[in-house]
Amino acid sequence: MPVHQNEDLPSPFGDPSSIFSDSELRETAYEVLMCACRSSGPKPLTFVSQSERGDRDHAPAAAATASLNRSLTSAAKSKVKKALGLKSESPPNTSEEDGKSSGRRAVTTGELMRVQLRISEQIDSRIRRALLRIVAGQLGRRVDLVVLPLELIQQFNSSDFPTQHEYEAWLRRNLKVLESGLLLYPNLPLDKADSSAQHLRRIIRGALENPMNIGKSTESMQTLRTVVLSLACRSSDGSVPESCHWADGFPLNLWIYQTLLEACFDIHENTAVIEEVDEVLELAKKTWVILGINETQHNNCFSWVLFHRYVTTGEVENDLLFASSNLLEEVDKDTKATKDLFDSKTLSSALSLMLSWAEQRLLTYHDTFHNDNIESLGNLVSVAALSAKILAKDISHEHNRKMKETDVACTRELEKLNPSKHVSRKQNKAFPSLSVLARQTSELAYTEKKVFSPKLKRWHPLAAGVAVATLHACYGNVLKQYIKGIAELTPNAIQVLMASVKLEKDLVQIAVEDSVDSEDGGKSIIREMQPYEAETVIANLVKSWIKIRVDRLGEWADKNLQKEVWSPEANKECIAPSAVEVLRIIDETLEAFFLLPIPMHRVLLPELTSGVDKSLQQYILNTKSGIGNRNTFIPAMPELTRCSTKSKFHGVFWVKEKSQVTQRRKAHVGTPNGDDLFDIPQLCVQVNTMQRIRIELGALEKRIVAILSSSKSATDHDTENEVSLKFKLSPAAAAENIHQLCECIAYKLIFHDLSHALWDGLYVGEVSSTRIDHFLQELEQYLEIISSIVHDRVRTRVIVQVMQASFDGFLFVLLAGGPSRAFSLQDSIIIEEDFKSLTDLFWSKGDRLPADLIEKQSTTARAVLPLFHTDTEHIIQQLSQLTREIYGSSAKSRLPLPPTADHWSPREPYTLLKVLCYRNDEAAAKFLKKNYNLPKKLTINK
């Protein structure tokens, strides 16, 4: 059988040679093992004195060698070997007499471990003696609460060693163990300012330079103990720890544990695992509590030890590779249930090396494998697949780095497929090289299926599936690099992506056909083939295209909206030029979208419509800035007062009051935006603009439905219903904006622009001389302006809102007109005539609003106006009755002041009170004075 040249692999757990020699690691590992087994296990380790073993120390070397490979259980077949697939040798047929004549045999597995770790009986005796002393001094103390190197240093001095040099070497080794476990590789990170750590560094540095003669009672020993225990007994949260941490930091713990696992190999046949491997592992597992090892780390470390031995011994013993693969399956199971970062670190370091080495072999398997070693191919594929599978779950940076190295290896292998092969230079210009590579990869996969898979199937049931999965991954890595360079949709990019789709279908088909007889029908292989998702890539490119255009739309709309003047003269439709341009851009964007050479317009359309919808909604919302609402313009309610007895307003008073008009308007009219308020024509243009947006969106939705319905992929019968829901933000925002604009136009016009005719003019002083005619004349002019500008579909809404604001303003003058107004019963005739003139203005012989609509909107005013010709006593009686109904017995002695109402009504106490406040007669004034002590409205000489 050909043997590969022996090679070594770097340790995944770091190189301990700069700190410990091999012999020092073995002796340390043996001490840890003896400590862990001192009072546990089926065969407790016992101390045998040198005198009792004297005869055996002088036994012939050959006899000793013959006995070292046997244990009390050597006659039974190893369960571990059977589970891992390792060959098991038949037990020797030697009689008891033959055993006696050939020398002694190992009586305990501890003795076997001593031999396997090459520990002399003298050292073994010293360790056992020390452990007995430690146990005697710390009776009942758990093994994980003992800092072994510290206890050993305290137990021995130079007199316990053959030479001073041997003692110093032993002391240095234990100090290095303490340094590694507590300072260099602690289980819990050290605080740089930790005084104990600094103190221990100084002690170890001094001891390494000039070894101490430490005794049990010396001050230096007590100092060392205090410092060591303070570091070993730390916890992450400051609580009392459950165990000491002196050998469970990475990688010290795995250096020691790997040394113990190496004892599973025969020291005379380095490719053979001893028959007593079950007992060796059973003992090794007892050290877990000290080394902080768990099942996952054990399986991972043992898998690496077997794999490493397979590689370094020339790849001649396939059983070692097979056993390593079986252990990786256990690691795979373990990693599903743990997310431990330490496990991740150890897994990624070992598995990355195993995967890298296996891939180097597999990438050239045509040259690497032949008839003599073909059996190892299946096991190597298994190791590589399991390593890659487990690493895919690992989150460490080391794994990411190793996977990048693997990607490069696969890419180099694919470079052997010359994209220009079998293709003329002219054809190469027409077909992107990666499309050619996809076709050649497909051809290679079919060759693999036809030539290699029938032979490989003997060792791997899914040989072709594994091969195409590897090709799939390699091409996928190259495709990923290509995709990273795609900045936008181009014909070449589409062609490459479509070629990738075809390749993936071919590879999946081969994998399925190869797995037809398997239990899962090839699902496991298919799951390992990470989809290229070429159509997703196309979709993402289109989404990027959409985002760029939607962002540009939003930026353009914001920029031009800031410069918009909302002039009616801008165009004949009286709409904002910025909105015209925004709608044009939206139309062009949708047209360009349907011209894109992609097969999934229907799927990606919601992305575009949603983006356009949000941008247009933002444009609409931004137009609201500064327009205000009804509360912006309605005057504040004046304080309650009463009229002077029989006072009349004469011309002198009216002239005096005019000087206060400006002041009152500022006090009563809320204008938070000052000069920034839009005028009525500008607001009308905004109404038209919002209406145009609603109309255009409706037309756009119908056109989209028509395009989708005419496409070959149109299969849905409810396409129209589906698409109509896409533009839901901007139509709703436009409708809301129209409502707010109509309200703003109406209340700004009545309470702000016509304030001089309504608030400052109507019924100020003598009612008969300040009637509504002037207000109606100016209002009619504004109605003409509104009718000439506003779109006919929303014109009625604006005029109705103006009418409602006019009625509200009329009632506000009558019931909250301030100190310049007072009404007598005789004035009610004028008031009703003026209100009729106001309603007639909106009817105007039927050319504006229908009579029933005017009737409906004027309901409140028509109900309140009769109060102005109702005699005072009757109103007082109604107010008293309603107040008592509300307040009950508490209103018998004195009527409480009714609260401000949110609407006017003849059955509402506050409305009746306001009528009395503006009633210019003595009965009203006395009632208000007596019951509410209201101040006089005016002080005028009769």
Report the amino acid identity of residue 499.
A
User: Which residue's structure tokens are 């190999």?
Assistant: 265
Mean pLDDT of the 900-907 span: 90
Mean pLDDT of the 685-704 span: 93
Instruction: Tell me phi and psi for residue 671, to 5 degrees.
Output: -130, 75
- In this predicted model, which residue has the larger pLDDT, 517 or 915? 915
The per-residue pLDDT for 408 is 43
* Burial annotation 236-250 (CB, 10 A radius, 16+ → b, else e): eeeeebebbbbbbbb
> By the 8 A CB rule, do 1 and 373 touch?
yes
Task: Report the candidate in 238, 209, 212 with the shortest Cα–Cα distance to residue 225.
Answer: 212
> By the 8 A CB rule, do 218 and 157 touch?
no
CB neighbour list of residue 197: distance below 8 Å, 6 or more residues apart? 182, 183, 190, 191, 231
Which sign, positive or negative, has the C-alpha torsion 66, 67, 73, 79?
negative
User: Which residue's structure tokens are 């709703």?
Assistant: 732
The per-residue pLDDT for 52 is 42
**pLDDT tens-digit series, residues 847-863:** 678 889 999 999 999 99
The per-residue pLDDT for 28 is 96
**pLDDT tens-digit series, residues 253-272:** 999 999 999 999 999 898 99
DSSP class per residue in 223-272: HHHHHHHHHHT--TTSSPPSS--SS-STTHHHHHHHHHHHTTB-SS-TT-
Tell me which of 227-231, 244-248, 884-888 is least confident: 884-888
Angle subtended at Cα 505 by Cα 504 and Cα 509, rounded to the nearest 5 degrees: 115
Tell me which of 456-470, 564-578, 639-653 is least confident: 639-653
The per-residue pLDDT for 170 is 93
* Burial annotation 521-539 (CB, 10 A radius, 16+ → b, else e): ebeebbebbeebebbebbb
The per-residue pLDDT for 749 is 95
**pLDDT tens-digit series, residues 793-812:** 999 999 999 999 999 999 99
* Radius of gyration in angstroms for the set of CA atoms belonging to the chain, rounded to a whole number: 49
Which residue intervals of 623-679 are DSSP H helices? 630-633, 651-658, 661-668
The per-residue pLDDT for 60 is 36
Confidence of residue 59 (pLDDT cuts 50, 70, 90): very low
For the cut 60, the answer to whether the pLDDT of residue 650 exceeds it is no
For the cut 60, the answer to whether the pLDDT of residue 610 exceeds it is yes
Tell me which of 233-242, 337-346, 429-438, 758-767 is least confident: 337-346
> By the 8 A CB rule, do 820 and 716 touch?
no
> By the 8 A CB rule, do 745 and 687 touch?
yes
- Cα–Cα distance measured from residue 297 to residue 288, given in angstroms and rounded to the nearest whole number: 10
The per-residue pLDDT for 57 is 41
- In this predicted model, which residue has the larger pLDDT, 710 or 752? 752
For residue 823, give the 3-state DSSP assignment: strand
For residue 109, give the 3-state DSSP assignment: helix
Mean pLDDT of the 332-357 span: 75
> By the 8 A CB rule, do 804 and 857 touch?
yes
Tell me which of 113-122, 516-525, 796-805, 920-929 is least confident: 516-525
Task: Report the candidate in 405, 411, 367 with the shortest Cα–Cα distance to residue 388.
Answer: 405
User: Which residue's structure tokens are 């005789």?
Assistant: 826
For the cut 70, the answer to whether the pLDDT of residue 832 exceeds it is yes
The per-residue pLDDT for 552 is 92
For the cut 60, the answer to whether the pLDDT of residue 725 exceeds it is no
Confidence of residue 1 (pLDDT cuts 50, 70, 90): very low
For the ranges 359-363, 653-657, 719-723, the maximum mean pLDDT occurs at 359-363
Mean pLDDT of the 628-646 span: 82
For the ranges 43-57, 397-411, 503-517, the maximum mean pLDDT occurs at 503-517
The per-residue pLDDT for 102 is 39
> By the 8 A CB rule, do 839 and 855 touch?
no
Angle subtended at Cα 410 by Cα 406 and Cα 413, rounded to the nearest 5 degrees: 140
- Cα–Cα distance measured from residue 929 to residue 643, given in angstroms and rounded to the nearest whole number: 10
Tell me which of 53-57, 74-78, 524-528, 818-822 is least confident: 53-57
For the cut 90, the answer to whether the pLDDT of residue 666 exceeds it is no
CB neighbour list of residue 762: distance below 8 Å, 6 or more residues apart? 770, 771, 772, 775, 810, 813, 817
The per-residue pLDDT for 22 is 94
**Percentage of the chain with pLDDT > 70?**
78
- Cα–Cα distance measured from residue 469 to residue 466, given in angstroms and rounded to the nearest whole number: 5
> By the 8 A CB rule, do 398 and 348 touch?
yes
- Cα–Cα distance measured from residue 349 to residue 254, given in angstroms and rounded to the nearest whole number: 12
Mean pLDDT of the 294-320 span: 92
Mean pLDDT of the 320-346 span: 78
Instruction: Please state, rounded to an integer, the average pLDDT across all residues of the chain.
Output: 80
- Cα–Cα distance measured from residue 666 to residue 752, given in angstroms and rounded to the nearest whole number: 10
Mean pLDDT of the 414-443 span: 63
Mean pLDDT of the 737-749 span: 94
- Tell me the two tokens of residue 916: 């009395």
The per-residue pLDDT for 891 is 61
> Long-range contacts for 174-177 (Cβ within 8 Å, ≥24 apart)?
174/149, 175/149, 175/204, 175/207, 175/208, 176/19, 176/20, 176/24, 176/204, 176/208, 177/28, 177/149, 177/246, 177/247, 177/252
Left (φ > 0), alpha (ψ -120 to 50) or beta: where does 763 sit? left
**pLDDT tens-digit series, residues 32-56:** 999 988 744 334 444 343 334 444 4
User: Which residue's structure tokens are 């170890």?
Assistant: 204
Confidence of residue 675 (pLDDT cuts 50, 70, 90): very low
- Tell me the two tokens of residue 81: 């070997």
- Cα–Cα distance measured from residue 902 to residue 900, given in angstroms and rounded to the nearest whole number: 7
For the cut 60, the answer to whether the pLDDT of residue 395 exceeds it is no
For residue 188, give the 3-state DSSP assignment: coil
The per-residue pLDDT for 757 is 94
The per-residue pLDDT for 50 is 37
- Tell me the two tokens of residue 473: 């991954």
Which sign, positive or negative, has the C-alpha torsion 158, 161, 163, 166?
negative
CB neighbour list of residue 422: distance below 8 Å, 6 or more residues apart? none
DSSP 870: S
The per-residue pLDDT for 139 is 62
- Tell me the two tokens of residue 668: 């009563």
Mean pLDDT of the 399-404 span: 43
Tell me which of 222-231, 448-457, 659-668 is least confident: 659-668
Confidence of residue 65 (pLDDT cuts 50, 70, 90): very low
- Cα–Cα distance measured from residue 921 to residue 919, given in angstroms and rounded to the nearest whole number: 6
For the ranges 89-98, 171-180, 342-351, 896-905, the maximum mean pLDDT occurs at 171-180
CB neighbour list of residue 767: distance below 8 Å, 6 or more residues apart? 823, 824, 827, 830, 831
Predicted model pTM: 0.53
The per-residue pLDDT for 179 is 93
Mean pLDDT of the 393-397 span: 48
The per-residue pLDDT for 335 is 77
- Tell me the two tokens of residue 740: 């707010």
The per-residue pLDDT for 613 is 93
DSSP 825: T
Confidence of residue 340 (pLDDT cuts 50, 70, 90): low
- Cα–Cα distance measured from residue 278 to residue 846, given in angstroms and rounded to the nearest whole number: 108
- Cα–Cα distance measured from residue 502 to residue 443, given in angstroms and rounded to the nearest whole number: 12
Give the CA dihedral 890, 896, 901, 904, nearest 10 degrees.
Answer: 100
Cis bond before residue 251 (omega within 30° of 0) = yes
**pLDDT tens-digit series, residues 704-717:** 888 888 875 555 54
